Amino acid sequence: MLQGRRIEALREARLGVEEGEFVCLIGASGCGKSTLLRIVAGFETAPRGEALMRGAPIIGPGPERGMVFQDYGLFPWLTVRGNIAFGPISQQRPAKEISDTVERFISLIGLERFADAYPHQLSGGMKQRVAIARVLANDAQVVLMDEPFGALDAMTRERLQDELLDIWQRTGLTVLFVTHSIEEAILLGDRVVAMSPSPGRIESQMAIDLPRPRDVAAPDFNEIRRQLSRKLHGRGGSEAA
């Protein structure tokens, strides 16, 4: 609300995501990317329209949909092992299953040496790996990522992009990934969805038909980047980072 008026964040934002697909959402700040993600997560309810998963209405948060934020959201009083175990413990799974699940995901994210460390003892990249593992340990089928690498330095960001793609390819997850970076969207996504602001709409969608691993310096990569930049900013606009 602003001075007693309701702000419309989204309008006619129709989007379908296939199982196992990696979809990136890009657009200017305030275009409704995060709002759309929160509706899919079940944290917010759209006043009009509906959000569905496999044909069933999304009416609230659920373990099949996991959210990864830019600020990690780890429990500071729990170790890496404790953070990853939190969801399975809450679901009252058998102790052996919880232990096996935790160890599997600690191995998946490569933090065996830090399994008993607390969040304040980890680097930003390590914290984000734990946040991803915590979602996966809940048996999430859809992972919703709201600029998860935005606060990281360039080298850590590149490493985690590679690790995320490796996890996605090995697990068959469905990923809906919000980013401000056109380059990151092309590097990661099967499809890039551009949103327009005020209120947010799905302006265009582009399938990224490039083999992985992708080369950000390749001519075909940069041609796609130019096309998306024109769609987002107009021919005279500057490209996102």
Instruction: Record the pTM.
Output: 0.86
Rounded to the nearest integer, the mean pLDDT of the chain is 86
The reply to whether 55 falls in a domain is no
Kindly report the CATH number assigned to the domain that includes residue 151: 3.40.50.300
Q: Which of 55-59, 102-106, 196-200 has the lowest mean pLDDT?
A: 196-200
Q: How many folded domains does the chain comprise? A: 2
Band (239; pLDDT cuts 50, 70, 90)? very low
Q: What's the pLDDT at 5?
A: 54
Instruction: Let me know whether 229 and 147 are in one domain.
Output: yes
Kindly report the three-state secondary structure assignment for every residue of the chain: CECCECCCCECCCCCCCCCCCEEEEECCCCCCHHHHHHHHHCCCCCCCCCCEECCEECCCCCCCEEEECCCCCCCCCCCHHHHHHHHHHHCCCCHHHHHHHHHHHHHHCCCHHHCCCCHHHCCHHHHHHHHHHHHHHCCCCEEEEECCCCCCCHHHHHHHHHHHHHHHHHHCCEEEEECCCHHHHHHHCCEEEEEECCCEEEEEEEECCCCCCCCCCCHHHHHHHHHHHHHHHCCCCCCCC
Q: What's the pLDDT at 231?
A: 81
Q: Which of 105, 122, 138 is the last residue of a domain?
A: 138
Query: Percentage of residues in the chain with pLDDT exceeding 90?
Result: 47
Instruction: Let me know whether 195 and 167 are in one domain.
Output: yes
Q: What's the pLDDT at 237?
A: 40
Instruction: Let me know whether 226 and 154 are in one domain.
Output: yes
What is the extent of the structural domain holding 123? 75-138
Instruction: Let me know whether 122 and 149 are in one domain.
Output: no
pLDDT at 65 over 60: yes
The reply to whether 3 falls in a domain is no
Instruction: Let me know whether 170 and 96 are in one domain.
Output: no
Q: Of the candidates 228, 111, 112, 217, which has an alpha carbon nearest to the alpha carbon of residue 180?
A: 228
- Higher pLDDT residue, 129 or 22? 22
pLDDT digits (tens, 9 = 90+) for 107-156: 988 899 999 999 999 998 899 889 989 988 888 889 999 998 887 888 88
The reply to whether 2 falls in a domain is no
The reply to whether 240 falls in a domain is no
The reply to whether 7 falls in a domain is no
Instruction: Let me know whether 204 and 178 are in one domain.
Output: yes
Band (234; pLDDT cuts 50, 70, 90)? low
Q: What's the pLDDT at 241?
A: 45
Q: What's the pLDDT at 49?
A: 78
- Higher pLDDT residue, 100 or 3? 100
